[in-house]
Amino acid sequence: MRYREALLDDIPQLMEIRFSVTENVLSNPDLVTAAACAEYLTRRGKGWVCETADGWLLGFAIADVVGHNIWALFVRPGYEGRGIGRQLQQLMLDWYFRQTAETVWLGTGPGTRAEAFYRHTGWRETGQHGREVKFELKCEEWQGLGR
């Protein structure tokens, strides 16, 4: 496996992964389009992928420095628990906090593996974002986690 910055050519696989997850399923899949992915990868932020030697993507993460949030962090079903999400988060947040010291936030479904992951990796619950649990992370908190 290798980690690298996401490219526009990766968008079909990013969308495939996003639509294949069994938790945090989109209530309206029409909200995540190829155009939206391109916008977040090129204008609003940056993304990273984990891929196999033959170019099959196992996970991806996208940070939004305009909205100061994590737009996506997903691992292909069947590949969870292998450290892919943790490494993608590391790359993404290290980059994010080199761009800005603004607090970053995200929302995730309550009672999900993702909720437990974010708690375990230092995010603070700050309330709700719609039906999701809202988490925030400050630059100094991220740096204080020994990164």
Question: Does 25 score more than 90 pLDDT?
Answer: no
Question: Does 18 score more than 80 pLDDT?
Answer: yes
Question: Does 27 score more than 70 pLDDT?
Answer: no
Q: Does the predicted model carry a pTM greater than 0.85?
A: yes
Report the distance separating Cα 126 and Cα 129, nearest Å: 9
Q: Which residue has the tokens 């099959």?
A: 56
Q: Cβ neighbours of residue 118 under 8 Å, at least 6 residues apart?
A: 106, 108, 135
SS3 at position 10: helix
CB 108 within 8 A of CB 132: yes
CATH topology of domain 2-77+84-144: Aminopeptidase (3.40.630)
Q: What confidence score (pLDDT) does residue 144 get?
A: 79
pLDDT, tens digit (0-9, with 9 covering 90-100), for 102-140:
999 999 999 999 999 999 999 999 999 888 999 999 999
Question: Does 28 score more than 80 pLDDT?
Answer: no
Q: Cα–chain-centroid distance for residue 68?
A: 12
Report the distance separating Cα 133 and Cα 115, nearest Å: 8
Report the distance separating Cα 107 and Cα 53, nearest Å: 32
Q: What confidence score (pLDDT) does residue 130 get?
A: 86
For the chain, which residues make up each domain, given as ranges? 2-77+84-144
